Amino acid sequence: MFEKIRKAMVENQLSYRGIKDPRVIAAFLEVERHLFVREEEIEFAYNDYPLPIGSGQTISQPYIVAYMMEKLKIEKDDIVLEVGTGSGYEAALISKIAKQVITLEVDSHLYSESKKKLKQLGYKNIEVLKKNGFEGYEKKAPYDAIIVSAAPVEIPKILMEQLKIGGRMILPLGGFSQQLIYIERNDTDKFSVTGLIYVRFVPMIK
């Protein structure tokens, strides 16, 4: 049942709206979103909107996750830092493309639940850490790509510094009004910053 609904989600919410990267499409077809939502939300798992996952957090709208992943142009040898593990769904998707995903979660409950879930599902190339996302994770830096799944009001400079030369970062930025921002590190002290679509994410917390 879910396979058919998942395929419809990919066709109607992603492909129809312009998502073209075959690796992103394949990841969304493979990863079972209904396994990353609360039991009472399973019937809505493949709908085109965010869902609550507890602790005041949400699992993001599928299209927005796909849009962010496609913009990052993730490659098979990339090491990706994710800020805001949440349910673990986005990390699972990215892990289907990247070599390794380091994902950070500040909330104790979401950290333990997502770590347990990803282990149960057999994801070997995801490392889940309980950490403040504003600090990133220096130990595994620099990163090929960084994806932030909650909105700070200012771009965290520490995250920018943890990008490789040529590395990319995407994040929602702002308070009430938020915009996705794409950043590329062009040199040691040179970054290009591009505004993309307007979005609504939960605030990034410490």
Report the CATH number at residue 161: 3.40.50.150
Q: Say if 189 falls within a structural domain.
A: yes
Q: Say if 160 falls within a structural domain.
A: yes
Q: How confident is the model at residue 45 (pLDDT cuts 50, 70, 90)?
A: very high
Q: pLDDT of 96-112, one tens digit each?
A: 999 999 999 999 999 99
Asked whether the predicted pLDDT for residue 1 surpasses 90, the reply is no
Q: Say if 44 falls within a structural domain.
A: yes
Query: CA angle, corner 80, sides to 182 and 82, nearest 5?
Result: 75
Q: pLDDT of 4-26, one tens digit each?
A: 999 999 999 999 999 999 999 99
Average pLDDT over residues 51-72: 95
| Number of alpha carbons in the 13 Å side-chain half-sphere of residue 193 | 13
Q: Say if 84 falls within a structural domain.
A: yes
Where are the alpha helices (H) located in 123-180, listed in sequence order?
157-161
Q: Say if 206 falls within a structural domain.
A: no
Q: Say if 46 falls within a structural domain.
A: yes
Catalytic position from the list 15, 55, 60, 149: 60
**Do 175 and 153 touch, CB atoms closer than 8 A?**
yes
Q: What pLDDT is attached to residue 20?
A: 97
Give the mean pLDDT of the chain: 96
Q: Say if 205 falls within a structural domain.
A: no
Average pLDDT over residues 154-171: 97
**Residues spanned by the domain of 85:** 2-199
* Tokens 């950070």 found at: 104
**Do 50 and 63 touch, CB atoms closer than 8 A?**
no
- In percent, the amount of the chain with pLDDT more than 70 equals 100
- 192 catalytic, yes or no? no
Asked whether the predicted pLDDT for residue 56 surpasses 90, the reply is no
Q: What pLDDT is attached to residue 206?
A: 82
| Number of alpha carbons in the 13 Å side-chain half-sphere of residue 165 | 5
Number of domains in the chain: 1
Q: Say if 131 falls within a structural domain.
A: yes
